[in-house]
Amino acid sequence: MSETRGISRQISTEYELAPGRTRVYVWERPVRIAHWLLFLSLIVLSFTGYYIYNPFVISRGRTMFVMGTMRFVHLVAAWVFIAAIALRIYWFFRGNQFARIDQYIPMSRERRKDFVETGKYYTFRRWNPTAHLGHNAMAGAAYTAVFAMAIVEILTGLALYNNILHNKFLGFFVNWVFRVVDIHYVREIHFIIMYIFWLFFIHHMYSAMLTASEEKNGCLESIFTGYKFGNQKDLEREFGSGQPTEKVQAPSVLKTSPASKVSG
């Protein structure tokens, strides 16, 4: 019964973008919240972190404590970043089928095949992209790498912070970092990953706009609304064609609306 309610929430019958296209709830609220917290905190962390690494404002007055302010803002943004990563990792196991861990690590044969086919599309050996309501296998693997870098960024950042704070509790979790990598290299790793994040951001925007243009499934809007648009084949691929009608509400959801109704 709970499974039925869960799937029913993912499919909306309020309206269709075009004949045969159905609105599907893909990105749940925690996913969207984590996404925007990561983006906004990354902007603040990059600005303040670059200043900490290479101060570009020299204070002249005695009451101006620019470096201290930058460090404080950097620390607050860092805790927001950590909270967003923790929320997203938790939602790997608590979220719907589009947010779960198997969408990010291609463990099944279908996902591995999709990884290869998506690679062909990105390298111009395939004309059309592989259609998905959630992430394709290559995008999921890219996000896995980003989350791994985020963990490294968090560990190196906390280690550098505790090198000043000298907190025993925090040190229990992060002091081992300096036994593995010299502190000078820890600083460089922490700084370089920032640039990798922004390189990923450029690719992320390009691929999102490309997907939205090619698949016309509301990809860009979905990170605000949570909804994307799919046809009958998309729904059958994601939810299965052999499910009882009450689970996916097939008679009403999969019905093709007249063009006049859609345009009006």
> Which of 17-26, 160-169, 207-216 shows the lowest per-residue confidence on average (mean pLDDT)?
17-26
Would 234 be classed as within a structural domain? no
Would 55 be classed as within a structural domain? yes
Range among 45-49, 66-70, 138-142 with highest mean pLDDT value: 45-49
Q: What is the pLDDT of residue 251?
A: 31
Q: What angle do CA 87, 91, 95 make, to 5 degrees?
A: 145
Higher pLDDT: 38 or 125? It is 38
Higher pLDDT: 157 or 129? It is 157
For the beta carbon of residue 81, count every other beta carbon within 10 angstroms. 21
Would 141 be classed as within a structural domain? yes
pLDDT confidence of 202, banded at 50, 70, 90? very high
> Which of 23-32, 191-200, 224-233, 254-263 shows the lowest per-residue confidence on average (mean pLDDT)?
254-263
pLDDT confidence of 200, banded at 50, 70, 90? very high
Question: Is it the case that residue 256 has pLDDT exceeding 60?
Answer: no
Place of tokens 């229990």: 172
Total H helices, total E strands in the chain: 13, 3
Would 14 be classed as within a structural domain? no
Would 42 be classed as within a structural domain? yes
Question: Is it the case that residue 225 has pLDDT exceeding 60?
Answer: yes
Q: What is the pLDDT of residue 19?
A: 55
Measured CA to CA, the distance from residue 190 to residue 49 in angstroms comes to: 9
Query: Is 219 in contact with 212 (CB distance < 8 Å)?
Result: yes
Measured CA to CA, the distance from residue 218 to residue 229 in angstroms comes to: 6
Question: Is it the case that residue 261 has pLDDT exceeding 60?
Answer: no
Residues 6 or more apart whose CB falls under 8 angstroms from that of 189 comprise 152, 156, 181
Q: What is the pTM of this model?
A: 0.79
Measured CA to CA, the distance from residue 24 to residue 225 in angstroms comes to: 11
Q: What is the pLDDT of residue 238?
A: 72
* % pLDDT > 70, the chain: 80
Would 263 be classed as within a structural domain? no
The CATH number assigned to the domain holding 106 equals 1.20.950.20
Q: How many residues does the chain have?
A: 264
Give per-residue pLDDT as tens, 68-93.
Answer: 899 999 999 999 999 999 999 999 99
Write the burial class of residue 136 (CB in 10 Å: 0-12 exposed, 13-18 middle, 19+ buried). buried
pLDDT confidence of 1, banded at 50, 70, 90? very low
Where in the sequence is the domain holding 204, given as residue range(s)? 22-229
Q: What is the pLDDT of residue 48?
A: 95
Q: What is the pLDDT of residue 250?
A: 32
**What is the number of domains present in the chain?**
1
Question: Is it the case that residue 26 has pLDDT exceeding 80?
Answer: yes
Give SS3 for 102.
helix
Would 250 be classed as within a structural domain? no
Would 95 be classed as within a structural domain? yes
Q: What is the pLDDT of residue 260?
A: 35
